[in-house]
Structure 1
Amino acid sequence: MHQKNIVSLWFVFFGVLTSPVHSKTKSPDVSALNVMYSSLNSPSQLSGWKSSGGDPCGDSWEGIKCSGSSVTEINLAGLGLTGSMGYQLSSLTSVTHFDLSDNNLKGEIPYQLPPNVAHIDLSRNGFSGGVPYSISQMTDLEYLNLGHNQLNNQLSDMFGKLSKLKELDLSYNSLSGNLPQSFQSLSSLKKLNLENNQFSGPINVLANLPLKDLNVENNQFTGWIPEELKDIDSGTGGNSWSSGPAPPPPPGAKHHANQHSTKNDDGKSVKSGVTIAGIALGVLAAIGILIALFSRRKSPPPSHFLDEERISQRRSFTPLASRELSQDFHTGIRKDFKDNSRSLDSSASIDIKSLQNSPSSCPKRASSDFKQSYDDNEFANRLNSKRSTSVRAISYSLADLQLATGNFATGRLLGQGSIGRIYRAKYADGKVLAVKKIDSSLFQGGRVEEFLQIVSNISRLHHPNIAELIGHCSEQGHNMLVYEYFRNGSLHEFLHMSDDYSKPLTWNTRIRIALGTARAVEYLHEVCSPSSVHKNIKSSNILFDAELNPHLSDCGLATFHQRTSQNLGVGYNAPECTKPSAYTVKSDVYSFGVVMLELLTGRMPLDSSKPKPEQCLVRWATPQLHDIDALGKMVDPALRGLYPPKSLSRFADIIALCVQLEPEFRPPMSEVVQSLMRLVQRSSFNYRDDFGGSRRMDDHDY
Structure 2
Amino acid sequence: MVPHFNFSGLWIVLFVVVLTLTSTITTITLVHSKTNAPEVSALNIMYSSLNSPSKLDGWKSSGGDPCGDSWKGITCSGSSVTEIDLSDFGLSGSMGYQLSGLTSVTYFDMSKNNLKGDIPYQLPPNALHIDLSENGFTGGVPYSICLMKGLKYLNLAHNQLNGQLSDMFGQLPKLDELDLSFNTLSGNLPQSFKSLSSLSTLHLQNNQFTGSINALANLPLDDLNVANNQFTGWIPDELKEIKNIETGGNSWSSGPAPPPPPGQKSTRANRHSTKGAEKSGLNGVAIAGIVFGVLVALAIIIALISRRRTSPPSHFLDEERLSQRRPFTPLASQELSNDSRSEIHKDFRELKSTDSSSSIPVKGLQTSPSIGFKPPPSDRVKSFNNNEYVNHMNVKRSSSVHVTCYSLADLQTATGNFATGRLLGEGSIGRVYRAKYADGKVLAVKKIDSSFFQGMRGADFSESVSNISKLHHPNIAELVGYCSEQGQNMLVYEYFRNGSLHEFLHLSDDFSKPLTWNTRVRIALGTARAVEYLHEICSPSSVHKNIKSSNILLDTELNPCLSDCSLGTFHQHTSQNLGTGYNAPECTKPAAYSLKSDVYSFGVVMLELLTGRMPFDSSKPRLEQSLVRWATPQLHDIDALEKMVDPALRGLYPTKSVSRFADVIALCVQPEPEFRPPMSEVVEALVRLVQRSGMNPRGEDASASRRMDDYDY
User: TM-score normalised to the size of structure 1?
Assistant: 0.51
Q: Secondary structure at the match of 1:531?
A: strand
Partner of 1:541: 522
Partner of 2:456: none
Partner of 1:524: 476
Q: Secondary structure at the match of 2:169?
A: coil
Q: Does residue 244 in structure 1 map to residue 255 in structure 2?
A: yes
The offset of 1:386, in angstroms, is: 9.7
Q: Does residue 604 in structure 1 map to residue 611 in structure 2?
A: yes
Give the distance between the partners of 2:633 and 2:480, measured in 1 at CA. Answer: 36
- Superposed, which structure 2 residues align to 1:166-185 within 5 Å? 166-185=176-195
Q: Does residue 383 in structure 1 map to residue 374 in structure 2?
A: yes
Among candidates 393, 406, 427, match of residue 458 of structure 1 = 393
Partner of 1:622: 617
The offset of 1:602, in angstroms, is: 9.4
Q: Deviations over 1:155-195 (max 9, x none)?
A: 11111111111111011111111111111111111110011
Q: Deviations over 1:468-523 (max 9, x none)?
A: xxxxxxxxxxxxxxxxxxxxxxxxxxxxxxxxxxxxxxxxxxxxxxxxxxx99997
8 Å CA contact retained: 1:111, 1:134: yes
- Superposed, which structure 2 residues align to 1:150-549 within 5 Å? 150-232=160-242, 233-250=244-261, 251-256=263-268, 283-299=292-308, 302-305=313-316, 356-357=354-355, 383-385=374-376, 433=384, 456-460=391-395, 524-525=476-477, 531-532=493-494, 533=496, 535=499, 537=501, 539-543=520-524
Partner of 2:674: 687
Q: What amino acid maps onto 2:394 in structure 1?
A: S
Partner of 2:71: 61
Q: Residue 25 and residue 258 in structure 1: after superposition, are their counterparts in 2 closer, same or farther (change >3 A)?
A: closer
Q: Does residue 37 in structure 1 map to residue 31 in structure 2?
A: no
- Superposed, which structure 2 residues align to 1:113-128 within 5 Å? 113-128=123-138
8 Å CA contact retained: 2:187, 2:379: no
The offset of 1:201, in angstroms, is: 1.0
The offset of 1:73, in angstroms, is: 1.6
Q: What amino acid maps onto 1:292 in structure 2?
A: I
Q: Does residue 639 in structure 1 map to residue 633 in structure 2?
A: yes
Q: Does residue 143 in structure 1 map to residue 78 in structure 2?
A: no
The offset of 1:32, in angstroms, is: 1.6
Choose 47-56 or 285-294, whichever is displaced more: 285-294
Q: What amino acid maps onto 1:541 in structure 2?
A: R
Q: Deviations over 1:362-385 (max 9, x none)?
A: 98999xxx999xxxxxx9xx6355
Partner of 1:559: 556
Give the distance between the partners of 1:55 and 1:520, measured in 2 at CA. Answer: 55
Q: Deviations over 1:13-53 (max 9, x none)?
A: xx989965434222222222111111111111111111112
Where in structure 1 are there 5+ consecutive unaligned residues?
A: 1-11, 262-270, 316-346, 373-378, 390-429, 438-453, 463-518, 562-566, 569-589, 606-616, 643-678, 692-702
Q: Residue 292 and residue 63 in structure 1: after superposition, are their counterparts in 2 closer, same or farther (change >3 A)?
A: same
8 Å CA contact retained: 1:74, 1:99: yes
Q: Residue 434 and residue 241 in structure 1: after superposition, are their counterparts in 2 closer, same or farther (change >3 A)?
A: closer
8 Å CA contact retained: 2:499, 2:553: no
Q: What amino acid maps onto 2:618 in structure 1?
A: P
Q: Deviations over 1:341-376 (max 9, x none)?
A: xxxxxx99976795645999998999xxx999xxxx
Give the distance between the partners of 2:264 and 2:56, measured in 1 at CA. Answer: 56
Q: Residue 259 and residue 89 in structure 1: after superposition, are their counterparts in 2 closer, same or farther (change >3 A)?
A: closer
Partner of 2:143: 133
Q: Deviations over 1:87-119 (max 9, x none)?
A: 111222222211111111111111122222211
Q: Secondary structure at the match of 1:623?
A: coil
The offset of 1:684, in angstroms, is: 9.4
Higher RCO (CA 8 Å, separation ≥ 6 residues): 1
Q: What amino acid maps onto 1:208 in structure 2?
A: N
Q: What amino acid maps onto 2:180 in structure 1?
A: L
Give the distance between the partners of 1:125 and 1:365, measured in 2 at CA. Answer: 62
Give the distance between the partners of 2:220 and 2:674, measured in 1 at CA. Answer: 28
The offset of 1:246, in angstroms, is: 1.2
8 Å CA contact retained: 1:117, 1:138: yes
Q: Residue 214 and residue 39 in structure 1: after superposition, are their counterparts in 2 closer, same or farther (change >3 A)?
A: same
Give the distance between the partners of 1:364 and 1:211, measured in 2 at CA. Answer: 58
8 Å CA contact retained: 1:457, 1:556: no
Q: Residue 191 and residue 32 in structure 1: after superposition, are their counterparts in 2 closer, same or farther (change >3 A)?
A: same
Partner of 1:7: none
Q: Deviations over 1:303-353 (max 9, x none)?
A: 5426999999989xxxxxxxxxxxxxxxxxxxxxxxxxxxxxxx9997679
8 Å CA contact retained: 2:160, 2:183: yes
8 Å CA contact retained: 1:348, 1:388: no
Give the distance between the partners of 1:49 and 1:388, measured in 2 at CA. Answer: 40
Q: Residue 360 and residue 631 in structure 1: after superposition, are their counterparts in 2 closer, same or farther (change >3 A)?
A: farther
Q: In the comparison of the two structures, how many residue pairs are matched?
A: 439
Give the distance between the partners of 1:22 and 1:543, measured in 2 at CA. Answer: 48
8 Å CA contact retained: 2:115, 2:136: yes
Give the distance between the partners of 2:364 and 2:189, measured in 1 at CA. Answer: 36
Partner of 2:112: 102
Choose 273-282 or 69-78, whichever is displaced more: 273-282
8 Å CA contact retained: 2:394, 2:474: no
Q: Secondary structure at the match of 1:107?
A: strand
The offset of 1:66, in angstroms, is: 2.2
Give the distance between the partners of 1:309 and 1:623, measured in 2 at CA. Answer: 53
- Superposed, which structure 2 residues align to 1:577-592 within 5 Å? none
The offset of 1:289, in angstroms, is: 2.3
8 Å CA contact retained: 1:307, 1:364: no
8 Å CA contact retained: 1:602, 1:636: no
Give the distance between the partners of 2:363 and 2:202, measured in 1 at CA. Answer: 47
8 Å CA contact retained: 1:542, 1:551: no
Partner of 2:463: none
User: TM-score normalised to the size of structure 2?
Assistant: 0.50
- Superposed, which structure 2 residues align to 1:1-12 within 5 Å? none
8 Å CA contact retained: 1:147, 1:173: yes
Q: Secondary structure at the match of 2:123?
A: coil
Q: What amino acid maps onto 2:255 in structure 1?
A: G
8 Å CA contact retained: 2:208, 2:229: yes
8 Å CA contact retained: 1:124, 1:148: yes
Q: Deviations over 1:183-242 (max 9, x none)?
A: 111111111001111111111111111111111111111111111111112111111111
8 Å CA contact retained: 2:235, 2:252: yes
Partner of 1:564: none
Q: Secondary structure at the match of 1:214?
A: strand
Q: What amino acid maps onto 2:45 in structure 1?
A: V
Q: Secondary structure at the match of 2:227?
A: coil
Q: What amino acid maps onto 2:611 in structure 1?
A: M
Q: Residue 311 and residue 169 in structure 1: after superposition, are their counterparts in 2 closer, same or farther (change >3 A)?
A: same
Choose 632-641 or 98-107, whichever is displaced more: 632-641
Where in structure 2 are there 5+ consecutive unaligned residues?
A: 1-20, 274-279, 327-344, 398-470, 482-491, 506-519, 534-548, 561-579, 584-600, 637-667, 679-713
Q: Residue 259 and residue 158 in structure 1: after superposition, are their counterparts in 2 closer, same or farther (change >3 A)?
A: closer
Choose 222-231 or 594-603, whichever is displaced more: 594-603
